Amino acid sequence: MKTTFRSLLATALLATASLVATAQPSAPAATTPDTARLVLPASLINPINTQSFESFRAAVLPLVKQMADKQVVAMGEGTHGTAEFYRLRFWLTRILMEEYGFKQVALENDYTDTYQLNEGLRKPKAAVAPLMKAHLYSIWQNQETAELLTWLQGYNRQHRRQLQVRGIDAAYVLPEAHELSALAARYPQSGLQDLTSQLTKAAQLQDSVWAGLNTKGYKFPRQRWLSSGLEGYYVADKIQKALPAARLPRKQREKAQAFALDAKMGFDVFYQFTVLKRDVSRDSLMAEMTRSLVPGQNDKVIVWAHDAHVSRKIAMADDPNNGGGTGAFIERMLPGKYFVLGTSTATGTFAATTDRHITRTSPMASYSLEAPLAGSWEQTLGAVAAPVFYLQTQALGAQNLKRPHRFVGYAPSSGKNDYANFKLSEAYDALLFVRQTTAATPLR
């Protein structure tokens, strides 16, 4: 499981260097968890009615009030392809945006790609589905995510207060190269043309390799890829350093700084691998991008990402750089201003891909979840009478035991290798559980 959560590019880079044997290795050995039968007292369970938005809102209002004063509210997903996780997070996001002043929702998706999606949604008569296919990883290309974006689009057309969709990841680098090149051409006095031209050249190779890695038998010039990626990192760094003095309007400079940061993050794996001789921490990079979205004390953002990322605890104990824990970095950056909600399920179906690396075009299909592991949190929570509920992890008390907890990524696997031993309170402030779930609905 662990390479599902490591740097998207690092997985490919290290695999080509024969440092990683397979795309989905077994989870690491962990301390023996408590697997005795556990019965949760009814007082811990907060049932949720999901028959309508109104009934859902009434049930989760105490939970929402806990989130309201935080700068970063992270909403996890126990799989990358569960319809209910997308829909219920949309409803929570809508409440926070309509009633508690949140204006940004950030996806586990490339930052600049998502910026272009956000800008596209603002255009008159813009169709949501084509924009999603052009700018989102395929894990987001479903009807449930379309509901969120359609609502955002409609809200913005009716209100002066504008809502934004953001990204916190860095996989593709051509989008930011194109945005920076456009700014350099529009403002030639900035003196950025040569640097953005160099960045575009490196980005073209980078993104073409990334697109080809899922193709069986694909071959590429590895050494040229390494040297070009390292050059891309240094160019992005030069752009970052040049921007404070570049002759750009303030708002355009702020945009350029975000694009340059995204580019540097996208190429960071090559710097870490070639110069520092180590793997890159995707979670630290996503935390850095999240932090950039809330520069002021009154700024807020809602983050949608996998449970393993939003967790305060590293999911894969033997892989501290890449085993999850974006939430741990954010907590250190913004102590006391971070709230994390995990989500989980026991049975049903989920959408996943057999592609080794997630892209915008990875084909998604429905798969059945394997039965929960004996003694796991999923087995315990699945035995609760309420089909949908949330619980406060700090209220578990004596039941706050270290038990197997399932993390299903974008691959079809959901068996014994997809668990890590957790006390829920170490990972989340609260957990939303849906006993039986369905695969995300393919985008029409």
DSSP annotation of 298 = T
Burial group, residue 277, by CB count within 10 angstroms (0-12, 13-18, 19+) = exposed
DSSP annotation of 441 = P
Residue showing tokens 């355009």: 252
| Tokens read off for 297 | 């004390």
CB contact at 8 A, 357 and 13: no
What tens digit of pLDDT does each residue of 125-135 get?
999 999 999 99
| Tokens read off for 306 | 């996998």
Q: Residue 119 carries which side chain, given as an amino acid letter?
A: E
Q: Which pLDDT score is estimated for 348?
A: 98
Could you report the average pLDDT of every consecutive run of 10 residues in the chain (444 residues)?
Answer: 50 46 35 73 96 98 98 98 98 98 98 98 96 98 98 98 97 97 98 98 95 88 92 98 97 97 96 86 93 97 96 68 76 97 98 95 98 96 97 95 95 96 95 98 94
Q: In which region does residue 36 sit, left (phi positive, over 0), alpha (psi from -120 to 50) or beta (all else)?
A: beta
How many angstroms separate the CA atoms of 418 and 308, rounded? 11
DSSP annotation of 75 = E
How many angstroms separate the CA atoms of 207 and 381, rounded? 42
Q: Which pLDDT score is estimated for 32?
A: 62
Rg (CA), the chain: 21
Give the number of other CB atoms < 10 A from CB of residue 62.
11
Q: Which pLDDT score is estimated for 334?
A: 97
CB contact at 8 A, 74 and 403: no
What tens digit of pLDDT does each residue of 380-409 get?
999 999 999 999 999 999 999 999 999 999
CB contact at 8 A, 78 and 344: yes
Q: Which pLDDT score is estimated for 12?
A: 57
| Tokens read off for 50 | 């999901």
Q: Which pLDDT score is estimated for 19?
A: 28
The DSSP annotation for 180-246 comes to: HHHHHHH-GGG--HHHHHHHHHHHHHHHHHHHHTTSTT----HHHHHHHHHHHHHHHHHHHHHGGGS
How many angstroms separate the CA atoms of 291 and 74, rounded? 12
CB contact at 8 A, 4 and 24: yes
N-terminal to C-terminal alpha carbon distance within the chain: 30
Q: In which region does residue 438 sit, left (phi positive, over 0), alpha (psi from -120 to 50) or beta (all else)?
A: beta
What Cα–Cα distance (Å) separates residue 126 from each residue in 118, 153, 182, 344, 379? 11, 9, 22, 34, 44
- The pTM assigned to this predicted structure is 0.93
How many angstroms separate the CA atoms of 427 and 308, rounded? 9
Residue showing tokens 């930011």: 176
How many angstroms separate the CA atoms of 350 and 155, rounded? 30
